Structure 1
Amino acid sequence: KEAHCLGDLLMKAYYGGLEVDIAAVIGNHETLRTVMERFDIQFHCVSHEGLSRAEHNAKMCEQIDRYAPDYLVLAKYMRVLTPEFDGHYPNQIINIHHSFLPALNGAKPYHQAYARGVKIIGATAHFVNNELDDGPLIEQSVINVDYHYSAND
């Protein structure tokens, strides 16, 4: 398993390899709170439990708008956004998808790669549009597949 892509962004920003100002991290799980505290970055958890997708996206927008960011980066945010959310931040949302797009899109790209015998896997940063994993590509990286492990590893 690869490290969490947010951790990579934090380290690059901290050491100057990525010239960005990370104003806050807003997620739907508490798991990253302690990491954000170590980096002295504001963390807000907006749980999706018991909410419709539209309700959750509206609550996310409330938190995000407090910071007026230039860009939003989705780093392992595994929920589909509503068109209203996308429209609220036109050309501002960057998704870091855990596969080599456009070949392996959706929620389980490693399973797709394993089933097809794909020899490389990777990650893709792309701008978000109203189609799942279909926006303009920004950057891609690949590694060779080691089939000593299963897709779940």
Structure 2
Amino acid sequence: AAVASNHAELGPLVEKFNVPYSCISHEGQTRQQHEEQLAGFIEKHAPEYLVLAKYMRILSPWFVRRFPNRIINIHHSFLPAFAGAKPYEQAFQRGVKVIGATAHFVTEELDQGPIIVQEVLPVDHTHTPRDLAQAGRDVEKIALARALRLVFEDRVMLCGNRTVIFD
């Protein structure tokens, strides 16, 4: 296991667990440079899977192809609804009655990969976009934790753009 992040504040927390850590900032670099640096870190530590958590950047197709079926993302909506940026604002504008989070494998198409786990939470007209985002954080944590457990226990099988989950 290893952690690469563009959030420097994670360093002390990760290092408490004796996990290799590197802060790889994208600032002042091209996307290509940033992803090459990230790929180098990944290849050095050779993790079985890559988990994108709070990683708010779109990966280049070459990067996704370099690590096929190994990148897991948590998206803060019930995909395929509200893909991309600002899903809680989109959900608010549409007056949704549930919000959700989706853990999925990353493909070259943004937020379109095979779904591993989805979690939902009922909401109503009194919720602001900020309320939705705050409530959604808990749903995201649950969805990501469930997805990682399933994947790490080899209970997920990819079948085209779908998954089969073994109980």
Question: Which bracket does the TM-score occupy, shorter chain normalised?
Answer: 0.7 to 0.9
The letter of the residue matching 2:119 is S
Higher helix proportion, which one?
2
Deviates more, 1:32-41 or 1:135-144: 32-41
Q: Does 1:102 align with 2:80?
A: yes
Structure 1 residues 145 and 43 mapped into 2: Cα distance closer, same or farther (>3 Å)? farther
SS in 1 for 2:65: helix
The letter of the residue matching 1:41 is V
Shift of 1:146: 5.0
Shift of 1:84: 0.9
Q: Does 1:144 align with 2:122?
A: yes
Q: Assess if the C-alpha contact under 8 Å between 1:29 and 1:45 holds in 2.
A: yes
Q: Does 1:134 align with 2:117?
A: no
**CA deviation vs aligned residue, 1:56-103 (integer Å, no higher than 9, x gap):** 100000111111111111111100000111011011111111111001
User: How many residues in Structure 1 have an aligned counterpart in Structure 2?
Assistant: 131
Shift of 1:149: 4.2
Q: Does 1:77 align with 2:58?
A: no
Q: Distance in 2 between matches of 1:91 and 1:105?
A: 20
Q: Assess if the C-alpha contact under 8 Å between 1:102 and 1:133 holds in 2.
A: yes
Q: Distance in 2 between matches of 1:104 and 1:137?
A: 15
Q: Assess if the C-alpha contact under 8 Å between 1:76 and 1:97 holds in 2.
A: no
Q: Distance in 2 between matches of 1:77 and 1:147?
A: 29
Q: Distance in 2 between matches of 1:87 and 1:133?
A: 15
TM-score (norm 2): 0.73
SS in 2 for 1:95: strand
What's 1:57 paired with?
A: 35
Q: Assess if the C-alpha contact under 8 Å between 2:77 and 2:99 holds in 1.
A: yes
Structure 1 portions without partners, runs of 5+: 1-22
Q: Distance in 2 between matches of 1:95 and 1:52?
A: 22
Structure 2 portions without partners, runs of 5+: 132-167
Q: Distance in 2 between matches of 1:30 and 1:150?
A: 30
**Identity level (%):** 56
